[in-house]
Amino acid sequence: MKTRKIAVNWFVDFDKEEKWLNDMAVKGWDFYRTSGVIYYFKKCTPGEFIYQIDFKEKKSKDEVADYISFRSSCEDQLAHQWKSKIYWKRNAAAGPFEAENNIAAKLRLTNKAFQYHLNSFIGLTLIAAFAFLVLMPLGRHLSGCCFAKWLTDFSTGLTYGILAAILLILLPILKKLNKKINDLISEIF
């Protein structure tokens, strides 16, 4: 009988990713590792675990370690960490991570997700700006050199690639998360 499974998937929306991991658990697959695209599972009793995706917001390693230690002492199990994402799991029998009516908790998690994507947005924008304002002019300045054409093509491709990623992927998710935050705030007041 197959006890391990590898699945390829890619998510920008953490809600969808979390739902997918929970759906896999319902089918009897316990998530334990990812590289962002490849997901690793091992066999478990169907519906044994539930998952929650969280985001690191503490800056120092000690603060992150303290956060993980605290949650681990409260029956949440650290399933995996990948970049700024923390994947938590717990026995489904212990109940949900949050009560469905806990708006403040949903707001906290959505805000962390917004910050995570905003950081990606800022990072990519800076890379695109560097490619456009430094690498591209440098390529033109070095015209005649065999390296110049490659540098110009590379910086042009990088700039447009990043702009496309921002416009097609990051901005819609930021917009969606911003709307969700506003909806949650309006539920509180």
- Footprint of other proteins (CB under 8 A): 52, 54, 67, 70-71, 73-76, 88, 95-99, 102, 104-105, 108-109
Comparison of 44 and 109: residue with beta carbon closer to other proteins: 109
Q: What's the closest the beta carbon of residue 23 comes to other proteins, in angstroms? A: 21
**Secondary structure in 3-state letters for the chain:** CCCEEEEECCCCCHHHHHHHHHHHHHCCEEEEEECCCEEEEEECCCCCEEEEEEECCCCCHHHHHHHHHHHHCCCCEEEEEECCEEEEEEEHHHCCCCCCCCHHHHHHHHHHHHHHHHHHHHHHHHHHHHHHHHHHHHHHHCCCCHHHHHHHHHHHHHHHHHHHHHHHHHHHHHHHHHHHHHHHHHHHC
Q: What's the closest the beta carbon of residue 18 comes to other proteins, in angstroms? A: 13
Comparison of 109 and 170: residue with beta carbon closer to other proteins: 109
Comparison of 66 and 153: residue with beta carbon closer to other proteins: 66
Residue (of 132, 127, 124, 128) closest to 171 by Cα position: 124
Q: What's the closest the beta carbon of residue 53 comes to other proteins, in angstroms? A: 11
Q: What's the closest the beta carbon of residue 22 comes to other proteins, in angstroms? A: 15
Comparison of 35 and 101: residue with beta carbon closer to other proteins: 101
Comparison of 46 and 96: residue with beta carbon closer to other proteins: 96
One-letter amino acid for residue 7 of the chain: A
Q: What's the closest the beta carbon of residue 30 comes to other proteins, in angstroms? A: 20
Structure tokens at 59: 């800056």
